[in-house]
Chains A and B, each alone.
Chain A
């Protein structure tokens, strides 16, 4: 019963956030300078053509009407049609074509960041104050300070142009070849993962060090349990709860990273679709992408909460 109430509350707040988020994006798109008709037809277009374009796409309707029209469609699953791309592509089809690539790169980056940060954070914490700790901690600061797009170009220089191990540009869709996607997606995923791993490993190190000081760790050692056992079952297991929570809070940075890095590596993801849409003042495309991003963040946070409930018996419903 408690679980059901909780789920209903979460669904309600998610719906509210989606509504609010799409309204904010809608208003922002109208607030920025530039005009969809000019963007689509070019500087040389005749005033008549521009007027026709505006009428066709209801751009002269009151803002509230435009938003309500969009919302009505969105509730039926119709996110509108791109006004910048010839051929009347629906926004939904643009998202459906690009979202899997973005999710793949995002998940790939997250897994790499987890693997790197768990290794580095654990080593740093269990060798606290020694060479390994200093190396891991200062390495983390360096990686946090690297912008992901810059790191992307450095990785391309090193691993593609110099060593030739990975392609410098382009992406094989996971639907075509999963191994190909793993190979061609490695550098973009790594460019996102490395700065994130810096943040994650520092967070993990801090929570591990705090957990090391807990009475139950001393109590476990008093029982004669071995160091590895105590680290794994007592320290790591309990540090995992704040670590997972902290990762959930970074989900939006992950998405931000994906958008930028997709451009650098030419990955046909939702980030590229959204950036193109924004330049073309293509409101329905930007709006649709923003809603999808929002939905992903909400789902990730829900997942994190569920995971924490599983990890921590004290918060379990």
Chain B
């Protein structure tokens, strides 16, 4: 027993669409304690969602997933039996999505969804349990919500409902994949407030995937920055914001500050991330990095452990 809610060591995910091998997650290490919120931040295509789906072992068909360790609570996620994995889904790791409307079966009422989840958990008398769960995510009119079809409810209401259904199974880890991106600003604030409260009351640890540094800063204890399939820096939110070590982290934070009006001009990062299809020799960020060293493009850069549990994948700090 490690006491960790989530432990990942050396996760690699290789997709194979039409014979083109895409290395979408590369030697990824993450750990999460109970009650902790870890932000996983990065731009589109950096491998955040694929990391989340890997935790549920819902990687795309034909993908090759390898890892030294991948555990959630007591459960070993490196099983190969589909039946075992199915039993773990929802219970060991739950997941909330970006588009709450799309996450529900459009042909069925909310009550149907609640019944499926709760009866599966062995709660035969599901209706009072469902009302209790919805009340916990601040839904007042539980009877109306249960009787409604998904299209009759707002995005914020559906996201709350989905959170309630996911938490119903008491998962060790909840992956929240950009859960507020599709919501308007006021609803986003409400959902973030809900997360802040749930982290106190629930046993679960949260992996909060986002591309929004501001959102991550307002919610997360620690932040892991992903770039082109790799975690390039991980540390506490305060560490990252006060003293970003990786040039990419520094660029992200500069942009976030600029968007909040703390800078005159919006800083721009020249270039594009490297292709995930091509083999990589050195640091993924090297081509865009202003502080590139000679060694950066010669060999893969390892994750360098620093004081206070901080890690960075950058030769400037080796």
- Which residues in A have some Cβ–Cβ distance to B below 8 Å? 214-216, 218-227, 233-234, 237-238, 241, 311-314
Contacts and interface: CB of A to CB of B under 8 A. Distances in A.
Contact of B102 (A215, A222, A224, A237): A215
Contact of A220 (B82, B87, B105, B151): B105
B241 interface: no
Contacts of A237: 105, 107-108
Contacts of A227: 82
Interface string B90-131: 110011010100111111100000001100100000000000
29 contacts: A214-B102, A215-B99, A215-B102, A215-B103, A216-B102, A216-B104, A218-B97, A219-B95, A219-B102, A219-B103, A219-B162, A221-B56, A222-B94, A222-B166, A223-B165, A223-B166, A223-B169, A224-B86, A224-B89, A224-B91, A225-B116, A233-B105, A237-B107, A238-B105, A238-B106, A241-B107, A311-B107, A313-B107, A313-B149
Nearest to B89: A224
A312 B108 CA distance: 9
A233 B88 contact: no
A317 to B, nearest CB: 14
A108 to B, nearest CB: 29
Interface string B129-172: 00000000000000000000101000000000010011001000
B46 to A, nearest CB: 19
A215 B177 CA distance: 12
Contacts of B103: 215-216, 219
Given A224-B88, A224-B120, A218 B58 contact: yes
Nearest to A311: B107
B120 A222 contact: no
Contacts of B162: 219
Given A215-B97, A234-B105, A311-B107, 16 more contacts: A215-B103, A218-B58, A219-B103, A219-B104, A220-B105, A221-B56, A223-B116, A224-B91, A224-B120, A225-B116, A227-B82, A233-B105, A237-B107, A312-B106, A313-B107, A314-B106
Among A218, A223, A225, A311, the one with the most B-chain Cβ atoms within 10 Å of its Cβ is A223
A219 B58 CA distance: 10
Contacts of A311: 107
B89 A222 contact: yes
Among B58, B88, B97, B105, the one with the most A-chain Cβ atoms within 10 Å of its Cβ is B105
